[in-house]
Amino acid sequence: MKVLIPLLLALSFATPAGALEAIGEIRANLDGEELNWKVLRQDDGSAMVQITDIGPLTMIELHALGDGSISIGLIFHGKPSGDTPPAGLTIEIRPDRGALAGAVWESEDESPQMSIDLLDLEDERRIQANFSATLCRRDAPDDCRDVEGRIDTSLGAGP
């Protein structure tokens, strides 16, 4: 029974071959461990990217899979641009290989930093940026590691 439940869960999340397309990537070095993830889009056009406008704020959420998973959340005041760093930035990494696997590493106390080379929400719908942060284990907050990385991805189809 213990084997059957994970097997059924895995089968329920299975996606037909060819149904996912990589539209970008996120790379990072977490305490010396090189990790890579792909931002994916499904055949129906939906992507692992969400852009939400709430009043004067714009939120961009990126999710990617590969060496585990990564989630990056950005909050901008006013219209986002590459000239202005995000007002809020969160990073969460769940590596599935190497010495850091099995833990959730997240930004908490110290705010992550990001330098944006390209951010276009209208025409090209793309983000290219470098980020750095100190991430701590969710289950052991005193265990913190440095991460540096690069985002280069499409932001999916227009609204």
Q: Confidence class of residue 158 from pLDDT cuts 50, 70 and 90?
A: low
How much is the mean pLDDT over the chain?
Answer: 84
Q: Are 151 and 26 in contact (CB under 8 A)?
A: yes
The number of distinct structural domains making up the chain is 1
Is residue 7 one of the residues assigned to a domain? no
Q: Is residue 18's pLDDT more than 80?
A: no
Q: Is residue 3's pLDDT more than 60?
A: no
Per-residue pLDDT of 101-127, as tens digits, reads 889 999 977 789 999 999 998 888 999
Q: Is residue 49's pLDDT more than 50?
A: yes
User: Domain residues for 107?
Assistant: 15-154
Nearest-angstrom CA–CA distance, 38 and 1? 33
- pTM for this entry: 0.82
Is residue 10 one of the residues assigned to a domain? no
Is residue 6 one of the residues assigned to a domain? no
